[in-house]
Amino acid sequence: MAARIPAEERLTNLVVALMATEIGLTKQQILDNVSGYRQRADAGTRSDALEKMFERDKEELRSLGVPIETIGDAADPNDLREARYRIPQAEYDLPADIEFTPAELAVLRLAGSVWSAESASGDAQSGVRKIRALGIDGDEPIIGFAPRITARDAAFAPLQDAIEKSRVVAFEYLKPGEAVPRRRSIRPLALVDYEARWHVFGVDVDIDEDRMFLLSRIVGDVKVTTTTFDPALRDGAGERALAGLERVSAENAALLEVTPGTEAALRLGRRATPAAQGITVPFVDLHILADELASYGPEVRVVEPAALRDAVIARLQAVIDAHAEREEAR
């Protein structure tokens, strides 16, 4: 059975790949390396079916205003047998004299992340794509075909509502390594998007201290209570939250060996620095990074820290065990 990579995720991965190369990628390189095509190829999907899927995806992206450029043979531009495809960065650049403050960029990031194709006009979608060129990583979903808020972030809407109304919220929160979720009550002050994951920043009512929670670890419904708090607490909360995440990231780094030319090299390379033995990638949450690294399979090897290496191995072993159980059940 072909891997079930959602179409919007496949399109996002295609955009990331085409934006990351100056010389372009051939169709075969795309089918062999871009997540969404690669899994289907590994599962036995015929090459002609994959090529048709790529052609449909390419045309869909172009219809959304994504400028995919086709580069033919220099000696014979009309010969597209070895054509290469790319998205020129210049097509996304804004004039050099346009600047935004950190607060303005945070608002643009939030607005762009929650828009969907139905809520943004063609001009607005094109504008946000240009805003992405200001430094927001290219592997974030492109507005118009991959809205960020999905059923996985069901807590987003009630938390946003509570922030706007300055209401205390309560929810069950399951931390890694814990078998049972804990009830948490907070004064929610800001929703922040960091490393493509949503967090809620607020004051824990029980201990009266600032805390950060991943939306993906909230279990069940968020209860918006009738208890209110001073709206002034929200002032500057988003900036404080992001600064805190940046500090944590600066204090934690993983040393990785990555296979060149792979999806792992593309995605991790965007936030890594070269090291004598591979690359160094900063991180906020060890468990989240372990999930990501495990998804790359043999494309990545963790050199250190040991705790991260063990976490990745545990995830890969769980996949092997689950596959073995399915085979035994047949």
pLDDT at 36: 83
Whole-number Å distance between alpha carbons of 280 and 294: 17
The residue extents of the domains of the chain are: 7-88, 151-241, 252-329
Determine whether 244 is exposed, middle or buried from the number of CB atoms within 10 Å of its CB (0-12, 13-18, 19+). Answer: middle
**pTM beyond 0.75, yes or no:** no
**Class of CATH domain 7-88:** mainly alpha
pLDDT at 59: 86
pLDDT at 145: 33
pLDDT by 10s per residue, the chain, length 330: 444 567 777 888 888 788 777 778 888 888 888 878 888 887 788 888 888 889 888 888 887 778 888 887 545 555 555 788 888 866 655 556 666 665 566 566 555 555 444 434 343 344 334 334 433 333 333 333 333 334 346 888 899 889 999 999 999 999 887 889 999 999 999 988 887 688 999 999 999 999 999 998 999 999 999 999 999 999 889 889 989 998 998 899 999 999 988 888 888 888 889 998 899 999 998 998 998 899 888 999 999 999 999 999 998 998 888 877 777 776
pLDDT at 309: 95
Closest CA to 296 of 318, 324, 327, 267: 267
Closest CA to 142 of 97, 196, 103, 84: 196
pLDDT at 124: 38
Whole-number Å distance between alpha carbons of 55 and 37: 12
**Class of CATH domain 151-241:** mainly beta
pLDDT at 88: 81
To the nearest 10 degrees (0 to 180), the angle between helices 47-63 and 7-19 is 80
- Are 225 and 180 in contact, with CB atoms under 8 Å apart? no
